Chains A and B, each alone.
Chain A
Amino acid sequence: MHHDIIMAGFGGQGILMIGNLLAVGALRRGYRVTFFPAYGVEMRGGTANCTVTISDREIGSPVTARPLGLVAMNEPSVVKFGPRVRAGGVVVVNASIVPEGVLDREDVRVVRVPCNDVAADLGDPRLASMVALGAYVAASGVLPVDAVAEVLPEVLPEKVHRLIPLNQKALEAGADRAGA
């Protein structure tokens, strides 16, 4: 298994958080993993993205030109990274703010999930990225959703641990919406 995903969106959408969750979830299931963030000025209100690579053998590059998967939380991310996804890959698009037709590809599976709306229904708009991660995991089958949920206590800062059940719900809601 060799699975690489780019996750991208606005700074503050929780992109790096879900990248970490996926990576640590895979690590705890025995896979090799790397996580490479975009950093620097981009962290301050611009775009944020990271690449997560999951493999059952030693990983060379932590960066990729053609990922197998994409989680795109805003339109610029779909435009920038959508065309690069390898054929047969999965693209999760935040349908709440990305109009239809931005990515016109037949050879990848595009899963449109209204992440912001699902998160709002759960009571906290900040959960949008968690919804997207649940959707990606379910649609791609890269890991069981449980594998990600299990590492919430390890990855989330202590001060938000009371929100773990809610985050778990967001992951599950995303997985349901992916209609795997």
Chain B
Amino acid sequence: MSESKVTFEKGNVALAKAAVAAGCRYYFGYPITPQSDIPEYLSGVLPRIGGQFVQAESEVASINMLLGAGATGKRAMTSSSSPGISLKQEGISYMAGSEIPAVIVNVQRSGPGLGGIAPSQGDYFQATRGGGHGDYRVIVLAPASVQEMYDLTVLAFELADAYRTPVMVLADAMIGMMKEPLEEWVPQNPEPAKDDWAATGAAGRPGRRIKSLYLGDGELAEHNWKLAQKYERIRREETRVQIELPEGCELAVVAFGSAARIAKSAVDRLNDEGRRVGYVRPITLWPFPEEAIRRVAEQGVPLLTVELNTGQMVEDVRLAVEGRAPVHFAGYPPGYLPSPDDIYDEIVRRLPAGKEAA
């Protein structure tokens, strides 16, 4: 990586570049703010490197084009923003059921409904609970910087193939629209062979079915248990979290994505002032870093969950903590992007009294 150059890049563009670096040559999507930089970039690049860019007639069509591409084992993706992701849920459910690898990007805007185009984290529940019908999960990666838009997108393609499952990159308008230094790197992990399962034409073998329909006696329960075991394996192997816990930690902030970035400024400032405030940033939202958060709680550290919504991830934090420590919440619904000062005040309000630094 010595020859790599640091560029100043928009988050959305970093993500699109990462897809190309990861070997994705196929994009299917529909325009929606604030993620349109992604299709705009890929529509210029993919046709010139032997790929395909298809602007579909709808979000529904684009997710199903992705289903078709993924079923043949090709690395492919779609991207959208909140209302568009709602429309894609049917296809995501089918892909989970049919065990089709694919990458879906949600650069969240605000809802419910048409909502607005401001940054929000209102889609946490939708993303981490599967989102569509049926008993399934989607791996959800939450980048908090432009560099992570790149790094986690590469990871998304690798995880999708490794587990034959849809993976979502859950960004938001802030991470997508902001610019930061980006160091591009070339992924070294080879794309796994898919001849053992993908629909490639039944050359010299019986035909294959890529499907989610199981009507035989007991078949569907068996299929669901198989999926459940896969999800259990993902929980064990793929949970990712960033934790910074100072000695004698008085309180730890739990936040992801853009909220984590804003909170980090407040945490840093308090630590500069002599307080001891921890920082816990889930990088995978599903699987959620329950173990790590439970361990923090077991040390008696109170937690403050900060989100750009009125309280979603905080439920997972409470489930992880199971009453071992107080779990506070500071939420900001769309339309007001909190500043580090807002979060500073929220933290100070919860810090143990009488222990202020000199």
Contacts and interface: CB of A to CB of B under 8 A. Distances in A.
Are A and B in direct contact (Cβ within 8 Å)? Answer: yes
Interface of A: 20, 23-24, 27, 32-37, 39-41, 58-66
B234 interface: no
A39 B181 CA distance: 20
A41 B118 CA distance: 11
B8 A23 contact: yes
Interface residues of B, number: 25
A58 B180 CA distance: 11
Contacts of A34: 178-180
Contacts of B177: 36-37, 39
A40 B265 contact: no
Contact of B180 (A20, A35, A66): A35
Nearest to B268: A60
Interface stretch (B162-170, B215-223, B339-347): B339-347
Interface of B: 6, 8, 33-34, 117, 173-174, 177-181, 261-268, 337, 339-342
A34 B174 CA distance: 11
B179 A61 contact: no
Contacts of A64: 339-340
Contacts of B266: 60-61
A24 B10 CA distance: 12
Given A32-B181, A35-B178, A66-B341, 8 more contacts: A34-B178, A37-B178, A39-B33, A39-B117, A39-B173, A60-B268, A63-B174, A63-B339
B262 A63 contact: yes
B180 A33 contact: yes
A40 B36 CA distance: 11
Closest 8 CB pairs of A and B: A60-B264, A60-B265, A65-B339, A35-B179, A61-B265, A61-B262, A36-B178, A40-B117
A60 B265 CA distance: 5
B5 to A, nearest CB: 11
18 contacts: A20-B8, A27-B8, A33-B8, A34-B179, A34-B180, A35-B178, A35-B180, A36-B178, A39-B173, A40-B33, A40-B34, A60-B267, A60-B268, A62-B174, A62-B261, A63-B174, A63-B262, A64-B339
